[in-house]
Amino acid sequence: MADVAVVGAQWGDEGKGKIVDWLSARADVVVRFQGGHNAGHTLVIDGAVYKLSLLPSGVVRKGCLGVIGSGVVVDPFALLAEIDRIKEQGVEITPENLYIAENASLILPVHQELDALREGAAAGVKIGTTKRGIGPAYEDKAGRRGLRVIDLADLSSLKGKIENLLVHHNALRRGFGVDDIDADALFQTLSAVAPKIAPFAKPVWRELDEARKAGKRILFEGAQGVLLDVDHGTYPYVTSSNTVAGQAATGSGLGPRAVNYVLGIVKAYTTRVGEGPFPTELHDDTGKRLGERGHEFGTVTGRQRRCGWFDACLVRQSLKIAGVDGIALTKLDVLDGFDELKVCVGYRIDGEDFDYLPAGAHRQAAAEPIYETMEGWSGSSERARSWADLPAQAVKYVRRIEELIETPVALVSTSPERDDVILMRDPFQD
């Protein structure tokens, strides 16, 4: 049995939630290994819709342990609100079915305020963040001044750590012309939430090691997508963490041998939220049609996603960077009814052709897609569960994508429902 890591292979929003939930039926443990509550996963199970941000997708299934790893930045207030919301839908979250790494970093109100101040500033690059404090929390983690989950269990030393943190933040706030954060007020706020969070804190690295030794199947769940990776994405329009599969080891506390199979989630077209380059973006009725048919609005923010044709060149690049073994192709049904489809197979930048997207922001912004045109299909692929259920041209589209990205298709998703999947290769059996 293989332990599987799931990563998005585009700019996020590829449909990871459904695929992770589908795979979690075969898993004993589901681990979130990076990101924060800016990432949303929508699950549709027996008609019930669950919208998760921090909670691992497996928590909606009985008998599956959810783990928030040390690579995640945790907003304790958002987490408790999410637990309460899911409880109202009949899912109980307890310290028995959810573990939080005691060394995971915290997102505080001061981080969210700094995020908003930066995005609202007149000068500087507008990244298009969700203003949830993700970036500033990772900055404090790297700067060795951040607070961690374990600090909520020791209130006697918490006050001093808060004061140390605010030396940095209050200096920044003065630069923006806003009032300092009061250390006593922040201490009281965290003291109130600490007893609710502390019971979930665990030495996750040890718990996962024991689970692995016991032969339990572990599913590692990534957030966002490879193209938002802080090292390998379309910098500076990226997130503040590593989103590639290698982060599954670092962000969980298990070594790299823990991941036996990497599944990349790939949408049958392309979307992006926020600022940054997008070579195949469509500003016409076709782009609008993709957005409407695909219900392309952010799970967390509600922001409308930018839409465009499938970019095989960029997906091939991200799959190689992330070490992906096979892909799950999602939202194929959104393409039903198009007379023709276009697939990007390269770029033309200042008269020169490229088979990859260069790292320079100025070249990325100037990239013009080189398209290959394919015949569309009039039949329906929605809710198909076998190749025989798909229109012939839909099968050709999937097979051509497989050739262009140089990676096999393991699954095809044909609706938001959990069981509407065509399975070619079970990642857990690979």
- Positions annotated as catalytic residues are 13, 41
Q: Is-contact 320 330, C-beta < 8 A?
A: no
Q: Which residue has the tokens 């509600």?
A: 302
Which sign, positive or negative, has the C-alpha torsion 88, 94, 96, 97?
A: positive
Q: Is-contact 358 364, C-beta < 8 A?
A: yes
The strand pairing partners of 220, in sequence order, are 5, 31
| Residue of 210, 256, 260 lying closest to 29 (CA atoms) | 210
| Residue of 385, 374, 377 lying closest to 414 (CA atoms) | 385
Alpha carbon 134 to its chain centroid, in Å, reads: 13
Residue 366: enclosing H or E segment and its boundaries? helix 361-366
Percent helix, strand and coil across the chain, each to the nearest 5: 40, 20, 40
**No. of H helices and E strands in the chain?**
12, 20
Q: Is-contact 319 7, C-beta < 8 A?
A: no
* Residue 42: half-sphere exposure toward Cβ, Cα within 13 Å: 19
Cα(408)–Cα(264) distance, rounded to whole angstroms?
10
* Residue 401: half-sphere exposure toward Cβ, Cα within 13 Å: 29
Cα(330)–Cα(409) distance, rounded to whole angstroms?
11
State the amino acid at position 413 in one-letter form: S
State the amino acid at position 108 in one-letter form: L
Q: Is-contact 18 418, C-beta < 8 A?
A: yes
